């Protein structure tokens, strides 16, 4: 697996919105995103609005949304 880039929460939200996710709510420093309407097996995800996401958090969101490392570039 290629090395994961360092992303902020806002950058990851933009990437997910390009893939069809929509913001469902914001509470505190976290944004909840809903998957595209006709997607099967994808989950709602919560993205923290931090300056830099920890690798474990990023990897967990990638797993839930089906993203791969190449999608983050």
Residue 17's CATH number? 3.30.920.30
User: How far is the C-alpha of 8 from the C-alpha of 58, rounded, in Å?
Assistant: 10
In 3D space, the residue among 19, 15, 4 whose CA is nearest the CA of residue 57 turns out to be 4
Q: Is 34 inside a domain boundary?
A: yes
Q: Is 2 inside a domain boundary?
A: no
Instruction: Give me the pLDDT at residue 1, please.
Output: 60
The range of the structural domain enclosing residue 65 comes to 9-72
Per-residue model confidence as pLDDT tens digits over 21-54: 999 999 999 999 999 887 777 889 999 999 999 9
Number of domains in the chain: 1
pTM of the predicted structure, to 2 decimals: 0.88
Q: Is 27 inside a domain boundary?
A: yes
Q: Is 3 inside a domain boundary?
A: no
- Of the pLDDT bands very low, low, confident and very high (cuts 50, 70, 90), residue 13 is very high
């Amino acid at each position: 697996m290629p090395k994961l880039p360092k992303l902020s929460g806002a950058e990851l939200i933009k990437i997910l919105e390009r893939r069809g996710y929509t913001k469902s709510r914001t509470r505190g420093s976290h944004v909840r995103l809903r998957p595209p309407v006709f997607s099967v097996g994808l989950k709602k995800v919560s993205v923290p609005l931090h300056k830099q996401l920890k690798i474990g958090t990023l990897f967990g969101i990638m797993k839930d949304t089906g993203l791969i490392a190449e999608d983050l570039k």
